């Protein structure tokens, strides 16, 4: 926990917010505020009713950029910590309120789709629009954003942009950073900034990237303009291959992508990970999934290249129908989240993930290094019920590895993160950095990879740190997120001074 900096006490903060926005836009219910103090990272403790971060002073639900500006000005003037939020699906502690008497700004009432422009091929919507709703509207008109993260039913545009999210069709459409044309954001001093919509410009550095990925640590995103593309569902072709060797599977993806082909879905699963998705159909092998889509001749050419590379190196195939059904059921809405909670309570068992990126040269070595270290060094490896990885987003220069680890919990709920998730996550992060990769591919740094932010950026940390000093000089924006907060040691009671779990691994 970080001590409160503000001179105002809790009730003065609450009264001030009610005066600014009116009582209807300010939530003070203690149960709701406790729910808002944590994100999915604490899922096991949360299902057991343990809420360890300080409970926020209030949640505000602004309905205009001007109201966001008023709240941020108030917070700046009185040094009150602020945590932005939209869909609440963040996984890395970015929503946790580690400072006492924090204000949560919930953007989900900024939920209007403002304009679909079929000539300049872009859509403008407010930060609280759910991606699923936006996609449903666009597809009905023959368009798509091309963005399809697994959390699409719940995640909203503000959070999707703030975390540099990425979706299942990324190899064709890119990550959110490739999709944002322009946006509106509010900074802590109340400045409302609109970065205009142009196809490209050479007017200095690309300032969109100050906002995209800021995780609520620099500003509050209120409006986003995204590219749109024609939607061609009838042209999609689905491919599934079974391979004996994970490194051969990864190399097949490399050959395909570096040759210039852009399958929308482009994935390779190691055998344990493949089993959880495809059961016995995976036959204990690695599974490669590819989808060719777009205008018919392009989808056809991509399909031909896929066959040319993967048919000779695969041992067997998955039917196109199996792949299409699997993809249709991949996304997570509230129903799956509720079912996961019930299972955790009943079976004391859960799964986590850590996603990193790496150049093609070192991808197979990273996989082996992580699995080897976990098997050798993780003291509770006997409790692991799944340990594997997949590559799900590929680029000209490399790919991501999304490590998955499930375990049965033999400790008190409160100790689960420290005993299991923290040491496993640390091994993956350390190995990615050691081999020259990035410690985080798409979930954001949040609060729990912040101990490694400086090492991640090296000499470029100068630039990142400068952004925080320039735009949030009072340090009111989401303390502890991206930038480590002084005095923040929870939930690593055994951590050394860098925040790492040195005593455990
Ligand atoms: C089941 C599941 C599947 C997932 N699958 C994917 C996936 O495929 N790809 C992927 O990239 N991620 C995935 N995620 C992670 C998560 O969905 C993404 O990070 C998503 O972008 C978060 O959006 P949100 O609206 O829920 O944001 P929130 O959870 O509300 O917030 C996330 C972060 O963004 C900040 N933030 C939120 N709104 C704003 C705003 N308006 N202005 C400034 N900062 C803001 C918050 O402070 C926080 O740090 C998944 C999560 C779950 C639970």
Residues 57-97 have pLDDT tens digits of 999 999 999 999 999 999 999 999 999 999 999 999 999 99
How far apart are the CA of 315 and the centre of ligand 1, in A?
A: 38
pLDDT of residue 38: 86
pLDDT tier at 487, thresholds 50, 70, 90: low
Q: Is 87 in the pocket of ligand 1 (CB under 6 A)?
A: yes
Ligand 1 atom index nearest CA of 168:
8
Residue labelled with tokens 């490739």: 178
Q: Indicate whether residue 220 lines ligand 1 (CB < 6 A).
A: yes
Please choose from 46, 132, 151 the residue to mutate so as to test ligand 1's pocket, defined by most ligand atoms within 8 A of CB.
151
Which structure tokens are listed for 356? Answer: 């990193």
The confidence band for 488, taking pLDDT boundaries of 50, 70 and 90, is low
Strand partners, 269: 287, 390
**Cα 418 to ligand 1 centroid, rounded to whole Å:** 23
Tokens for 83?
């945590």
Least confident of 67-81, 168-182, 258-272, 405-419: 405-419
Helix axes 360-377, 246-258, angle to 10 degrees: 150
DSSP, collapsed to helix, strand or coil, labels residue 303 as: helix
Q: Is the C-beta atom of 158 inside 6 A of ligand 1?
A: yes
Q: Which atom of ligand 1 is nearest to the CA of 442?
A: 11
Provide the pLDDT for residue 2: 58
Distance from the alpha carbon of residue 160 to the mean position of ligand 1, in angstroms: 5
Distance CA 61, CA 368 (A): 47
Query: With pLDDT > 70 as the criterion, what percentage of the chain qualifies?
Result: 95
Question: What pLDDT digit, counting tens, does each position of 339-369 carry?
Answer: 888 898 899 999 999 999 999 999 999 999 9
| Statement: residue 502 has pLDDT above 90 | no
| Spatial distance between the Cα atoms of 392 and 178, rounded to a whole number of angstroms | 17
Q: What is the 3-state secondary structure (H, E, C) of 422-474?
A: HHHHHHHHHHHHHCCCECCCCCCCCCCCHHHHHHHHHHHHHHHHHHHHHHCCC
Q: Is the pLDDT of residue 418 over 60?
A: yes
Q: Is 151 in the pocket of ligand 1 (CB under 6 A)?
A: yes
pLDDT of residue 317: 97
For ligand 1, whether the C-beta of 341 sits within 6 Å is: no
Q: Is the CB of residue 428 below 6 angstroms from any atom belonging to ligand 1?
A: no
Mean pLDDT (the chain, rounded): 94
Q: Judge whether residue 4 has pLDDT over 60.
A: no
Give CA 174 to chain center in angstroms. Answer: 15
Would you say 90 and 40 are in contact if contact means Cβ atoms under 8 Å apart? yes
pLDDT of 499: 36
State if residue 478 touches ligand 1 by the CB under 6 angstroms criterion. Answer: yes
Report which ligand 1 atom has the smallest distance to the Cα of 156.
25
* pLDDT of 102 strictly over 80: yes
Looking from the CA of residue 176, the nearest atom of ligand 1 is 11
pLDDT, tens digit, 9 for 90 and up, residues 44-59: 888 888 877 899 999 9
Q: Can you tell me the mean pLDDT for 96-111?
A: 97
- Tell me, what's the pLDDT at 489? 44
CA gap 304, 412 in Å, rounded: 53
**From its phi and psi, is residue 493 left (phi > 0), alpha (psi between -120 and 50) or beta?**
alpha
Tokens of 243: 């391979």
Residues 6+ apart with CB under 8 A from 501: 418, 422, 423, 426, 492, 494, 495
Residue 504, pLDDT > 70, answer no
| For range 426-447, the mean pLDDT | 98
167 Cα: distance to centroid of ligand 1 (angstroms): 12
CA of 78 relative to ligand 1 center, distance in Å: 28
Give me the pLDDT at residue 3, please: 53
Ligand 1: distance of its center to the CA of 88 in Å?
A: 7
Closest Cα to residue 293, out of 253, 249, 255, 238?
238
Instruction: Tell me the Ramachandran region of residue 27: left when phi exceeds 0, alpha when psi lies from -120 to 50, beta otherwise.
Output: beta
Query: Ligand 1 within 6 A of 392 CB?
Result: no
Query: Which of 127, 98, 109 minimizes the C-alpha distance to 22?
Result: 109
Q: Tell how far the Cα of 90 is from the centroid of ligand 1, in angstroms.
A: 4
Residue nearest to atom 11 of ligand 1 (CA): 165
Mean pLDDT of 140-149: 98
Q: Is residue 188 in contact with ligand 1, taking CB distance under 6 Å?
A: no
**Ligand 1 within 6 A of CB of 89:** yes
CB of 156 closer than 6 angstroms to any ligand 1 atom: yes
Residue nearest to atom 21 of ligand 1 (CA): 160
Question: What pLDDT, on the 0 to 100 scale, is given for residue 407?
Answer: 96
Pocket test for ligand 1, best of 64, 72, 88, 89 (most atoms within 8 A of CB): 89
Ligand 1: which residue has its CA nearest to atom 5? 150
Atom of ligand 1 nearest to the CA of 165: 11
Proportion of the chain above pLDDT 90, given as a percent: 87
If you take atom 18 of ligand 1, which residue's CA is the nearest one? 90
C-alpha 129 to ligand 1 mean position (Å): 13
Nearby residues of 67 by Cβ (< 8 Å), 6 or more positions away: 20, 21, 25, 60
pLDDT greater than 80 at residue 505: no
- pLDDT band for position 337 (cuts 50, 70, 90): confident
CA nearest 263: which of 227, 234, 236? 236
Q: Three-class SS of residue 408?
A: strand
């Amino acid at each position: 926990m970080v001590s409160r900096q503000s001179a105002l006490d809790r009730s003065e903060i609450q009264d001030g917010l009610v005066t600014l926005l009116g009582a209807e836009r300010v939530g003070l219910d203690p149960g709701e505020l406790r729910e808002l103090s944590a994100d999915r990272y604490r899922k096991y403790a949360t299902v057991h009713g343990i809420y360890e971060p300080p409970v926020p002073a209030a949640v505000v639900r602004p309905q205009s950029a001007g109201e966001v500006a008023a709240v941020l000005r108030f917070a700046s003037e009185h040094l009150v910590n602020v945590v932005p939020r939209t869909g609440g699906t963040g996984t890395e502690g970015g929503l946790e309120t580690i400072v006492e008497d924090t204000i949560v700004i919930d953007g989900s009432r900024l939920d209007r789709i403002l304009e679909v422009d079929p000539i300049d091929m872009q859509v403008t919507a407010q930060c609280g629009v759910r991606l699923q709703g936006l996609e449903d509207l666009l597809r009905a008109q023959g368009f798509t954003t091309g963005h399809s993260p697994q959390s699409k039913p719940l995640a909203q545009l503000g959070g999707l942009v703030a975390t540099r999210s990425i979706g299942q069709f990324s190899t064709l459409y890119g990550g959110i950073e490739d999709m944002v044309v322009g946006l509106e954001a509010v900074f802590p001093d109340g400045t409302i900034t609109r970065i205009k919509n142009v196809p490209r410009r050479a007017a200095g550095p690309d300032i969109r990237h100050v906002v995209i990925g800021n995780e609520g640590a620099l500003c509050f995103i209120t409006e986003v303009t995204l590219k749109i593309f024609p939607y061609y569902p009838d042209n999609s072709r689905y491919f599934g291959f079974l391979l004996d060797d994970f490194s051969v599977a990864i190399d097949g993806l490399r050959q395909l992508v570096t040759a210039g082909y852009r399958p929308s879905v482009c994935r390779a699963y190691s055998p344990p990970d493949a089993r959880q998705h495809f059961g016995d159909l995976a036959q204990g092998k690695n599974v490669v999934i590819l989808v060719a889509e777009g205008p018919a001749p392009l989808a056809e050419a991509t399909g031909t290249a896929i066959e040319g590379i993967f048919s000779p190196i695969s041992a067997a195939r998955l039917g196109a129908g199996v792949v299409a059904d699997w993809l249709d059921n991949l996304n997570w809405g509230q129903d799956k989240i509720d079912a996961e909670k019930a299972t955790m309570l009943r079976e004391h068992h859960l799964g986590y993930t850590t996603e990193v990126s790496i150049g093609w040269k070192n991808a197979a070595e990273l996989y082996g290094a992580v699995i080897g270290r976990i098997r050798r060094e993780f003291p509770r490896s006997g409790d692991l019920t799944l340990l594997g990885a997949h590559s799900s987003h590929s680029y000209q220069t490399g790919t991501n590895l999304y490590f998955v680890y499930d375990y049965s919990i033999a400790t008190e709920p409160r100790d689960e993160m420290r005993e299991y998730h923290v040491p496993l996550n640390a091994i993956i992060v350390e190995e990615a950095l050691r081999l020259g990769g990035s410690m985080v591919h798409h979930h954001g740094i949040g609060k729990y990879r912040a101990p490694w932010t400086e090492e991640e950026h090296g000499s470029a940390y100068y630039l990142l740190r400068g952004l925080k000093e320039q735009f949030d000089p009072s340090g009111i924006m989401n303390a502890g997120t991206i930038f480590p907060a002084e005095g923040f040691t929870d939930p690593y009671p055994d951590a050394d001074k860098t925040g790492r779990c040195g005593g455990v691994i």
